[in-house]
Chain A
Amino acid sequence: MSEHEYTPKSKVGKWFNDRLPLLTLANHLTDYPTPKNLNYWWTFGGILTFCLITQIVTGLVLAMHYIAHADMAFQSVEHIMRDVNYGWLIRYIHANGASMFFLAVYIHIFRSLFYGSYKSPREIIWIIGIIIYLLMMAAAFLGYVLPWGQMSFWGATVITNLFSAIPLVGEGIVTWLWGGYSVDNPTLTRFFTLHYLIPFLILGLVVLHIWALHVPGNNNPIGIDIKKPSKDTVPFHPYIVIKDGFALLMFMIVFAFFVFYTPNILGHADNYIEANPLVTPAHIVPEWYLLPFYAILRSVPDKLLGVIAMLSAILILAALPWLDTSKIRSAVFRPLYKQFYWILVADVLILGYVGAMPAEGLYLLIARIATAYYFLHFLVVLPILGFKERTTPVPLSITEPILGGSPNLAAVKKKDDFKNQ
């Protein structure tokens, strides 16, 4: 955090701040020096905070009307949709809000991948982010079970059965998770409790995520270390606040489009049929944001190895700061990495597509190739690229390419010395 002293102007403010330095914190957040070249890809942190708050507020209200019981859950959701004042609106915001949350988090993650934001000294921010992402997936899955429709029930059955792949203790763990011999009322009530808990865990981790961010400060599109505060920075308020606010408004238009015009397009019609333990829907598909991992699970013909591959696909991200051996952060100066980055984006989109298709024939073949490439990217391409790639020259500061010179005089001198040799 910045070291400059802050004293509140008013006497009361000073009295309070000496006892609890909340005003110092507020001052740190408004004055916080931010790189002046942040583009719109950097606005998704704020958008994600908005998504989390939206889910917590709408979820809190839904919990006032929802009944977590296998005999009543389905009816209570219909009751929310038909009888509760604005219940349809609140539930559609919550249901589509989950999709919007994942849309924003994927953009946020891929921004980090492009600009190398996960690299030293930001590894802890990145790893906290991965934990948040894992918790988001858990919360989304648990929440999807609550309406107790056919997709809820069978999604819960399939996902909890993933644990049965663990040798020896697997079956015992599954029975323990279910609280019975199949997904039933005890499963529903505990899923509701955990679904309620996780957003608050995420909230706590978001505080740590931002705290860890404020130690080194933001990365930026050219990925260089900058002096703070300097000609290269602007205060967070009003510059970034306004930019984030504008991006948020654009995002809310997309959000509102889904809520008001196509509220069910991202869901499955089967979930409007009440859960039936005797009939599995003909085609079980998870929500769109889990499809790439689902494709990886299905592409491996062995049960245990399939589960391991799926989990590794997520956990491998935590090792990314060490797998990527390049010292240059931004893909702008990495001509080869930039191409591999877009291949990875395409690879993940292909995995998402085949994840929604039946696991047979050509789709299965494509899924297997795309799965192999996914791991290849992280385990082979990135480590080698750091040593082999010829990167292009990185500017010394954000202003240097435009104004010449730099607020970082020592760096300018070093560059000039280098030229004169």
Chain B
Amino acid sequence: MKASASQLVGGLLVVLLIGSAVLSAWADERETKPEEPPNDQTHADTLARGAEIYAKQCAECHGDKGEGVEAAYEKPLGGQRDVAWLTRRIERTMPEGEAELCVGEDAAAVAAYLYEQFYSPEARRANQPQRTLQRLTAEQHRQSLADLIASFRDSKPIGDERGLKARYYAGRKMNGKPLAEQVDHVIDFTFTPEHPLHEQFDKHGHSVRWTGSLLAHETGEYEIVLRTDHAVRLWFNDGRARGSRAHNEITDNEPAFIDGWLQSAEQEEFRRRIFLVAGQAFPLLLEFSSHSQGVGNEKDQDKQRHAGTSTVALRWVPPGGVEQVIPQRHLSPRRLPAVFAASAPFPPDDASMGFISGAGVSDAWLAATTQAAIQAADYVIAHLDELAGTRPKAEDRRERVIQFCRQFVERAYRRPISDTEAKRAVTRHFADDVKLDSAVKRVVLAALISPNFLYPAVDTQANNGFAIASRLSLAMWDGLPDEPLRQAAANDELDNPDKLAAHARRMMDDPRARAKLMRFFHHWLELERAEYADKDARLFPEFDEHLLADLRISLDLFLEHTVFSERSDYRELLLADYLYVNDRLAAVYGLDPGEQTDKGFVRVAVPNDQRSGVITHPYLLTAFAYHNDTSPIHRGVFLTRNIIGRQLNPPPNAIAFDDAEFDPSLTMREKVTEMTRASACMACPATTNPRGFSLEHYDSLGRWRATDKDKPIDAESDFAGDDGQTLRLKGARDVAEFAAGSSAAHRGFVRQLFQHAAQRDPSALGPGTLDQLSARFESSDYHIRELYIQIALSAATHGLQSDEAESSSASTTEQTP
């Protein structure tokens, strides 16, 4: 993905790698609804007859199960054709050299037999060895560690208010009654004589203390940046930040995360990096003073520089973003408990199926797992008294710590443990000659690198409430069950569908669910490709990293608005006729932001025929484009696969788009048409190119244009609809409206969201799963959050009705400890 993106940016010869797919020989695999298996006697007879004939006439060359035979016909039987085609083929050519042996009903019987047994995609999927066990993905791992440690702290909801709580003080001292208490939206101040509190400020300077939490929206490395021409310091995500009192005489307070209290040599900027986990809130305490520091007394103050104008700003560089003032929506005036964020570098998870899953283990994964376990163990030891609810000199400290350790293991395993297990996992580490800290370290390490933690499903074939709770919390927010869910599991309440659903709805409101859902949209829209977008500076002087960052915010605001609004309507994603813009975007995209004066974003209506939801969002269009031109092929493949919901097979050969090969006066549409006509693979371009041409009205920055190379844009094309009828699509809005009303598109969306939530294909839960979810999606007026809840519920209860899981747990060779 990254390689292809950088090639897009740089070279003359651009190889069209689109995801793992390449341009030629794509088969347009129509959405094939699973056929109801015909159950009548005739069909059974046909299959039996087919089986008999296959064994006699075919198996010698093709293998007993169509797997192929060495030195005969080695290729396994499998493909996209239907039974009728297979029948014709068998009649005409099989058995080889003796085609007359198998014709008519015999041929039809063999075709039906092999189609159902091993040829069709469904049969192949069913015949694959089913590996159901998955390890935690990297995101799940980090979330689970954060949740595990948080479970020993008092959690409270983050609330809806945004900004930081501010207390303004007249002079240097920040105690006593403040001049003012308020919520400041962002921290980006220049204190001038015009400030409303100026009259009350000490002439030598005032002070402000801000408290609250930082809401991380993505998992990754952030850089926190403080700017001031006076004194500033920030405590972040630990004791003082969350308001606990320092209790130490020598170290009279905890060191600040960023300490710019001492102003020296006019250094006005202080930066520090930190790894944060998405959907978690990190407490902070920010102090600012325009007053001098040190020991000088009042009479000396006149010698000091007068406070004058002073500035302070709390900024950040979010993962993959540019430096900016931390926006209001990422700040909360509530101070929450500190969060443990494991920064161990996990290798990328398996994404070969088109979605992230926990398939496979590797050296790098084991190393990261172990490193994260060590980080967590060190963190637990550093906060042991707080987490275990004890004190350094408490008489029962040892007992309390042992009790804590047992709970820790239970929460890591997502279920209660037996006394035998507790002995193995906890008490045996507390030998007399082992120091308490060392014993705790061993317990935590062992718990966090044990299969019971790393493979959430390893214990859950029992299908009790704890297994349901575990699957639900993984699906909803990639993390561990919280206290209410654990409690419900312990009380056997979760096999009640209503109670379970109530938990899912409750969990939907948590920032972790928001974060996971937003991760889906980023994945669905392939936004990672945008992070590497670059443009030809001569053609697009407006383009820079700030424009790109603003576009991303604009898209995120749109997604959040749509997904987390009351209607949460999937169709609005496709059909919205507005954009979120700030001043910069308004200027570049020729929109009027109205009264907009600061750097904030506002929603601006755009002409209905010029924009239609996400598919015309300029961030996407910028990402799906060359550095100097549009890319109908990338755009077409994206629309076909992700939006319209048709599957494309990866082609065996790559061909390259070389701009220099074409007459420079040709439009992009003409070039692409020329190129794909020459290639041997018409099936796919026939579908994808017209979709890409639908977006030809948007240049490489996603700006609306009427012409290309001084010729009017031709965005019209014919399109084979779901029923095979030909539709004339005039442009982007027609495509969006088609997708909004297409059941195949809906199914595609459901499938992709399911894969993201549950790390597996819906078919893994039985053939009817996708149909049921799609039907509910439709009946809920395409409510995205409701769909997400339903997906999580079906993933959570999976196994309850599955015979297969029952039988595999029946054959369990349970070892008594």
Answer yes or no: do A and B interact.
no
B residues with CB within 8 A of A: none
